A and B are shown apart, each in its own frame.
Chain A
C-alpha cells in the first residue's frame, strides 16, 4: 500500500539552507586546487567583423602570466560543429570560442589570459590590444522583421505552432468585435547572483574534474568529452550548488570551454570567472514582436485568434521557444492561426529564460483579452471563463488535469475582484490612481526520463543520488521528503546528492520538469529498496511478515509493519540482517508514459490578479498587491513551492516595470551591462504577494502527481500588471517595461 505521507505536502525549510547561509555550500568558483591558474577573458569591442591583429605581447610580459590564448594559438579542438552541440542546443552551429578571427557579436571572447593570481590575469587582460576590420552589423529586430523566416529545422523539445484550425482570417474579418495590436517585451538578461564560472582541476594523466556553473552536469560532461575528445572516465563534473541560473546555465557557456581548454593545454588547474559585464555577452531572452488579433461575437465568444510572432536569433543558430502556441491553448476558439518566425541579428544566440516564450506570448494574448473585454464592456474575468478551454484544442487532447477555473475563482475571491469598478480611472486613493488587472498563465508540465539511486544502510540512513541540479528551487528538499516518506524514515536520515556526473543520468534542470522527473525516479528507486527490504524481511526465520505481501505492509518509523496490525513488524535493521546485507542499493529510471501522452496534455495554469497604484503625474507605479493562484497538481512542499511562485511574480514585476537590456544599435552592443543600470526589482519595489494553490489531482502528468512550479509564477504576471495599469490610468502600454516615461 502507499506509505503515509509525513513530509510530502507539508511546509519544510530547505535542507541545504544552513549550508548556504553559512558558506559551507560550494559554488563553481569556490573550489580550490593546488597551483590554480586564474583566467581573465578579453571581450570584443565590435559586433561584427574580423580580428586583423591581436597583440598579446604586453600581456605576456607581465610577471606571473602563464599563457595568453587567442584564435591564433588555441589548442585544437573538435573539427565538426556538431560536436559542440549540447542537449538543449537549437539547430545551427554552436559558437566556438577562439575558433578563428571572425567576430560574430559584441562582447565575444577573443582572448583568455592565464596568470598565477586573478589580479595579474585581469591586469594583463587589459593590455591585450585588438585591431578589427569592422563589418556592418544589424541588431535591431524592427529593421530585420522583413527578412523573417520560418525556421527550417525545428528545435527538439519545442513544439512549432500547430496547424491552423478553421479559417481565422475570414472569421476575424467577419467578427463584430475585433482588437488587433502589436506587443513587445524588452530583451532581458538572466542576471543570476552567481557569476558564470568554471574551476577545472587537473587530476594528472589527462583527467580533469570540472566545477561549472551549470543546470546539468551530464550535459556539461557530454560537451566536454565531445569537444575535447576525452573519454568518459577522464572527465567528472561536480556542481552541487548553483547560485541562480534561470536558464543561463542550461547550455555550456564559454567560461567552461575556455577553462577546460586551458587546463588541458597547460596541464594545470584553471579557474575562469566571468565579470558581471560579461554576463551580458551570452544568452538572453530574445526580442520578440507579437501581433495579436482577436475577434469575438457580441456576447464575448471568441470567433478568431491570430498570433504572429517574430523573434530575434543569432546568425549561427535558430533559437526557438514556444511563443504563440499558448494563444491556441488558453481559450476555446474554432478559428486559430499561429505563426512564429525568426530574424537573424548579430548578437549571441538568445536562450531559454524562465518560462521561455510564455510570458512574451501571454503578455500579448492576455493584454489583448483585456482590450477585448473593454471593447465588449464585459468583465475581464468573465471573458476568460466564457471562453474557457475544456480541452487542448491545439492537439485535440484531454488535459491530464486543469483546475484553472478553481484557480480563477480562488484568486478572484482572495483578491476581492468582485469589488472592482470596471471603468478605467475610476478607483483612486489620495493622489494615486488604483488599478486592478488580471491575466491567466500557462506552462508545460512535462516529465523527462531520469534515473535515480537509493542506498539504504543498516544504520537506517538513506542516500539518494541523481545527476540533476538544484538551482535554488528546492530540489534537495523535495527529494528528501519523497524519499523519507517512501521508506518511512525521518527526513534527517536522508541525504540527497545532486550535481555530479558520476550519479545516475538526469537531463538538465529546466522546463519545470525536475520535481516531476527526479521526484518520480527517486520514488521508484525507493520502492525498489522497499521491495528488496521486504523480501529480506519475509525471509527471516519466524518472520512476523511471513505471509504478507508488499501491498499489505507499510514502512514507518524505521519499521516494516502490517498495515492492518502494526504490532506485527520488523525493523529495517533486522530485515537487512535477515538478508545478510548491510546496504541495499537500487537504481531506477522513470519515463513519461507514451500511451498517456498520446491522449492527454499536461499543463500548469495560473490566475494572476494585480493591484497597482500609479502616481500619474510622475509616472511612478507601485504593484501593491499580487494574488497568484496556481493549479499545478500535487504540491510537495508548501514552503519551497510558495517561494518559487513569489520569485516568479517578482520576475514578472521586473518584466512589467523595470528590466530591459538596452542595445546601442550603432555599436551592436548592450550598454547597461551591470546591476546598477539593469534594474531587477529591489525590496522597495515589492509589496504583498499572496500565493494560492488550487487543489488539483493529477494521476497522468507524472507518477507522483506533480507538475512543477519553477516557471508558472512569471507567466501572466507581467500582463496582469500591465492590465492593472490600464485600469488605473486608461493608458494601454504594449511595450514592456512600463517605465515612468511611458506614463507621462
Chain B
C-alpha cells in the first residue's frame, strides 16, 4: 500500500473540488473494494477523499414521481433490508443479499458498489500484465485462466467482468445514477453508466474526472410480483457469479407484458438486451418463449478456453430465472439450494 493523504471534506462541493484538483485522488466510503486494491498495489492514490461524513447522502427517500432515491452512502445492508425496497423492489433486495457477506454488506455503500472493480485474477496480481491496470501491457487472461471471464461485449484488450450483484438488479430496474462534478450535476441512465472495455479497458464507467455519485434513483415500476435474482457460482455463498440473472416481469394472466432481463458475471457491465426483452411482450410465459429469448440474448456470446460453458449456463439460467419470475416463486437467498 502506498502513502497517501487523507482528507475529509465538509460538504459535497468541497469533495468535488478536491477530486477535480487531483487526478490521483480517489473517493473512499466503505472501502470494501478500494482497500483491497490499495493492499494489492493495484490502486495507488495520492489522496483519499473520505466522503463518509458528507451530509445528505445516506437516506432513502420516496420521490415525487413515485420512485425511490437512494443516497450514495446508504449501506448495502440498510438498502437490502429497507421495508420500501423489500416491498416495492424485492429484486434489488434479493440481489444485494446474494452478494458478499453480512460484514461486507454492512460496510459497502451504494455508490461504491457501482464503482467496484473486476475480480479478474490478473487485474489483482501486479506480477502479471493487465490492460485494465496498466494500459497497453496486455491481457494474459485471454490465453490464460479465464473461467470467470466475459462471454459478452469483451474486446481483444480485456475480457474482465463486472462483479456486482446489486448493479444487475439496478440495470433490470432501469435505475438512474445521479452524479455531480466540476461541470455540475447530471443524471446517467444505468445502462450508460458502466461501459464495455473496447480500446480502453482501464475505464470502467462514464463518470467524468472529478465526478461523484450522489444517488441512485429507482423509477416507480419495481416488478414486485414477478421477479427473481438467480445467482450461479462455484459455491453457494461468498463467491462471485459465474452467471447471474435479474428478472422483472409484468404479467397479464399467463401472458407477459413488460420484461426486464439483466445478466451479471458475463460482461464488463451488467448486460441487458432491450430488443430481446421486447420479444417477450405479449408472449405466453412458457419454456419455449423463454428459450427463444435466451438464445437471442446470447447470439453475440463468445467463449474462451475455460469459460465457454458460461454460454450454455447463461442460456439455462435465463430460462430458469424467467420461469421463477413468471411463476411468482423468486429464488431465495437464504435457502441452501437453488430453486
Closest residue of B by beta carbon distance from A658: B235
Question: A43 at the A/B interface (Cβ < 8 Å)?
Answer: yes
B232, B236, B320: residue with the most chain A Cβ atoms closer than 10 Å: B236
Closest residue of A by beta carbon distance from B41: A126
Assess whether A684 is in contact with B127, with CB atoms less than 8 Å apart: no
Question: A564 at the A/B interface (Cβ < 8 Å)?
Answer: no
Range of interface residues on chain A? 35 or more
Interface string of A637-678 (1 = CB under 8 A from B): 000000000000000000001100011101101011110110
Question: B338 at the A/B interface (Cβ < 8 Å)?
Answer: yes
Q: With A119-B1, A123-B1, A664-B144 as given contacts, are A622 and B337 in contact (CB-CB < 8 Å)? A: yes
Assess whether B320 is in contact with A658, with CB atoms less than 8 Å apart: no
Partner-contacting stretch, out of B11-19, B117-125, B214-222: B117-125
Closest residue of A by beta carbon distance from B237: A684
Assess whether B313 is in contact with A619, with CB atoms less than 8 Å apart: yes
Partner-contacting stretch, out of A74-82, A313-321, A453-461, A736-744: A736-744
Assess whether B235 is in contact with A685, with CB atoms less than 8 Å apart: yes
Closest residue of B by beta carbon distance from A432: B337
Shortest CB-to-CB span from B142 to chain A, Å, is 10
Q: With A122-B1, A667-B140, A674-B124 as given contacts, are A740 and B336 in contact (CB-CB < 8 Å)? A: no
The distance in angstroms between the C-alpha atoms of A645 and B145, with both chains bound, is: 34
The distance in angstroms between the C-alpha atoms of A589 and B320, with both chains bound, is: 64
In the bound complex, residues from chain A placing their C-beta under 8 Å from that of B317 are 618
The distance in angstroms between the C-alpha atoms of A313 and B39, with both chains bound, is: 32
Assess whether B2 is in contact with A126, with CB atoms less than 8 Å apart: yes
In the bound complex, residues from chain A placing their C-beta under 8 Å from that of B234 are 658, 679, 739-740
In the bound complex, residues from chain B placing their C-beta under 8 Å from that of A658 are 234-235
Assess whether B125 is in contact with A666, with CB atoms less than 8 Å apart: no
The distance in angstroms between the C-alpha atoms of A666 and B142, with both chains bound, is: 11
Question: A620 at the A/B interface (Cβ < 8 Å)?
Answer: yes
The residue from B2, B40, B119 contacting A123, defined by CB atoms under 8 A apart? B2
Partner-contacting stretch, out of B65-73, B204-212, B238-246, B266-274: B238-246
Question: A558 at the A/B interface (Cβ < 8 Å)?
Answer: no
Question: B195 at the A/B interface (Cβ < 8 Å)?
Answer: no
Question: B184 at the A/B interface (Cβ < 8 Å)?
Answer: no
Assess whether B235 is in contact with A664, with CB atoms less than 8 Å apart: no
Assess whether B232 is in contact with A618, with CB atoms less than 8 Å apart: yes
In the bound complex, residues from chain A placing their C-beta under 8 Å from that of B148 are 677
In the bound complex, residues from chain A placing their C-beta under 8 Å from that of B313 are 618-619, 740-741, 744
Assess whether B144 is in contact with A671, with CB atoms less than 8 Å apart: yes
The distance in angstroms between the C-alpha atoms of A402 and B177, with both chains bound, is: 68
Question: A687 at the A/B interface (Cβ < 8 Å)?
Answer: yes
In the bound complex, residues from chain B placing their C-beta under 8 Å from that of A126 are 1-2, 41
Question: A615 at the A/B interface (Cβ < 8 Å)?
Answer: yes
Shortest CB-to-CB span from A56 to chain B, Å, is 17
In the bound complex, residues from chain B placing their C-beta under 8 Å from that of A671 are 121-122, 125, 144-145
Question: A24 at the A/B interface (Cβ < 8 Å)?
Answer: no
Q: With A43-B127, A671-B125, A682-B237 as given contacts, are A622 and B336 in contact (CB-CB < 8 Å)? A: yes
Assess whether B236 is in contact with A682, with CB atoms less than 8 Å apart: yes
B2, B127, B143, B313: residue with the most chain A Cβ atoms closer than 10 Å: B127
Question: A544 at the A/B interface (Cβ < 8 Å)?
Answer: no
Assess whether B119 is in contact with A45, with CB atoms less than 8 Å apart: no
Shortest CB-to-CB span from A506 to chain B, Å, is 37
In the bound complex, residues from chain B placing their C-beta under 8 Å from that of A669 are 125, 127-128
In the bound complex, residues from chain B placing their C-beta under 8 Å from that of A44 are 127
Assess whether A676 is in contact with B41, with CB atoms less than 8 Å apart: no
In the bound complex, residues from chain A placing their C-beta under 8 Å from that of B240 are 676
Question: A681 at the A/B interface (Cβ < 8 Å)?
Answer: yes
Assess whether A617 is in contact with B316, with CB atoms less than 8 Å apart: yes
Q: With A679-B235, A682-B235, A682-B236 as given contacts, are A123 and B338 in contact (CB-CB < 8 Å)? A: no
A–B pairs, 12, beta carbons within 8 Å: A45-B128, A618-B232, A618-B313, A618-B316, A618-B320, A622-B236, A663-B145, A671-B144, A672-B121, A677-B119, A677-B148, A739-B234
9 pairs of A and B residues whose beta carbons are closest in the complex: A741-B309, A45-B127, A684-B236, A684-B237, A671-B121, A664-B144, A671-B145, A662-B145, A126-B41
Q: A672-B121, A682-B235, A740-B242 are in contact. List 18 more A-B contacts (CB 8 A).
A: A106-B127, A119-B1, A126-B41, A431-B339, A617-B320, A618-B316, A657-B235, A658-B235, A664-B145, A671-B125, A671-B145, A677-B119, A677-B148, A682-B237, A740-B313, A741-B147, A741-B313, A744-B313
